[in-house]
Structure 1
Amino acid sequence: MSVISLPPGLTTRPLALADVPAVVEVIAEQELHDVGAVEIEEADLLADWGRPSYDLGTSSVAVLDDERIVAYAEHLGEERYDAAVAPAYRGRGIGSWLADWAQRLARERGVAVLGMPVPEGSAGDRLLTALGYHVRWTSWVLRLPAEARIEERPLPPGYALREAGPEDHEQVWTVTEDAFLEWSERERATLADFGAQVWGRPGFEPWHLQVVTGPDGRVVGVSHAWNSTGDDLTETYVSRLAVAPEHRGRGLAQSLLVTSFAAGRARGATSSGLSTDSRTGALSLYEKVGMRPASTWVHLAITLS
Structure 2
Amino acid sequence: MADLRPEWLPVGYRCRTATTADVEAIHRLVVACERELYGRPGTGPDRIAAELTGPGPRPEYGALLVQDGAGGPAGYGWVKGARARVHVHPAHRGRGLGGALLAWAETRARQLGGDRLAQTVPDADHAATALLRACGYSPLVTEWLLEIALPQEAEVPVPPAGVTVRPFRDGDAQVAYRLTEDAFDEWQPRRKTYAEWARLTVGRSTFLPAASPLAFAGDQLVGAVLSLDVPGHDEGYVERVAVRRDHRGRGIARTLLREAFHTFHLLGRPACTLWTHSGTGALALYERLGMTVRHSSTVYGKALLPG
CA distance in 2, matches of 1:57, 1:254: 37
CA distance in 1, matches of 2:154, 2:8: 52
CA distance in 1, matches of 2:157, 2:248: 14
- 1:128 equivalent in alignment to 2:132: yes
Kindly provide the amino acid, as one letter, of the partner of residue 224 in structure 2.
Answer: V
Per the normalisation by structure 1, the TM-score is 0.92
CA distance in 1, matches of 2:52, 2:236: 22
- 1:292 equivalent in alignment to 2:292: yes
- 1:220 equivalent in alignment to 2:222: yes
Pick closer, same or farther for the CA change 1:54–1:195 going to 2, 3 Å: farther
CA distance in 1, matches of 2:60, 2:114: 19
CA distance in 2, matches of 1:11, 1:118: 24
- On the 8 A contact 1:133/1:301 being kept in 2, the answer is yes
1:121 to partner: Cα distance: 4.2
Counterpart position of 2:3: none
- 1:179 equivalent in alignment to 2:183: yes
Q: List per-residue Cα deviations over 1:161-217 (Å, max 9, x = no partner).
A: 11222332221011100111111122x111122122222101334314321011x31
Counterpart position of 1:106: 109
SS in 1 for 2:235: strand
Decide which of 20, 26, 30 is 2:29's aligned counterpart.
Answer: 26
Counterpart position of 1:71: 75
- On the 8 A contact 1:143/1:292 being kept in 2, the answer is yes
- 1:259 equivalent in alignment to 2:259: yes
C-alpha RMSD of matched pairs (Å): 1.9
Counterpart position of 1:87: 90
Counterpart position of 1:143: 147
Kindly provide the amino acid, as one letter, of the partner of residue 226 in structure 2.
Answer: H
CA distance in 1, matches of 2:273, 2:53: 24
Unaligned runs of at least 5 residues, structure 1: none
Unaligned runs of at least 5 residues, structure 2: 1-5
Counterpart position of 2:282: 282
- On the 8 A contact 1:227/1:264 being kept in 2, the answer is no
CA distance in 2, matches of 1:57, 1:22: 22
- On the 8 A contact 2:88/2:97 being kept in 1, the answer is yes
- 1:96 equivalent in alignment to 2:99: yes
Pick closer, same or farther for the CA change 1:57–1:86 going to 2, 3 Å: farther
CA distance in 2, matches of 1:263, 1:298: 31
SS in 2 for 1:167: coil
Pick closer, same or farther for the CA change 1:296–1:165 going to 2, 3 Å: same
CA distance in 2, matches of 1:58, 1:280: 26
SS in 2 for 1:238: strand
Counterpart position of 1:46: 49
Give the aligned length: 298
- On the 8 A contact 2:61/2:78 being kept in 1, the answer is no
CA distance in 2, matches of 1:69, 1:56: 23
Kindly provide the amino acid, as one letter, of the partner of residue 139 in structure 2.
Answer: V
CA distance in 2, matches of 1:158, 1:57: 43
- On the 8 A contact 1:49/1:56 being kept in 2, the answer is no
1:135 to partner: Cα distance: 0.3
1:221 to partner: Cα distance: 0.5
Question: Identical aligned pairs, as a percentage?
Answer: 32
SS in 1 for 2:140: strand
1:149 to partner: Cα distance: 6.0
Counterpart position of 1:272: 272
- 1:234 equivalent in alignment to 2:234: yes
Kindly provide the amino acid, as one letter, of the partner of residue 47 in structure 1.
Answer: A
CA distance in 2, matches of 1:265, 1:51: 35
Instruction: Pick which of 63-72 and 240-249 moved more.
Output: 63-72
Q: List per-residue Cα deviations over 1:9-35 (Å, max 9, x = no partner).
A: 210000111111110111111112123
1:64 to partner: Cα distance: 0.6
Pick closer, same or farther for the CA change 1:14–1:51 going to 2, 3 Å: closer
Per the normalisation by structure 2, the TM-score is 0.91
Kindly provide the amino acid, as one letter, of the partner of residue 145 in structure 2.
Answer: V
1:47 to partner: Cα distance: 2.7
SS in 2 for 1:166: coil
Pick closer, same or farther for the CA change 1:222–1:85 going to 2, 3 Å: same
Kindly provide the amino acid, as one letter, of the partner of residue 258 in structure 1.
Answer: R
CA distance in 1, matches of 2:50, 2:24: 14
Pick closer, same or farther for the CA change 1:236–1:47 going to 2, 3 Å: same
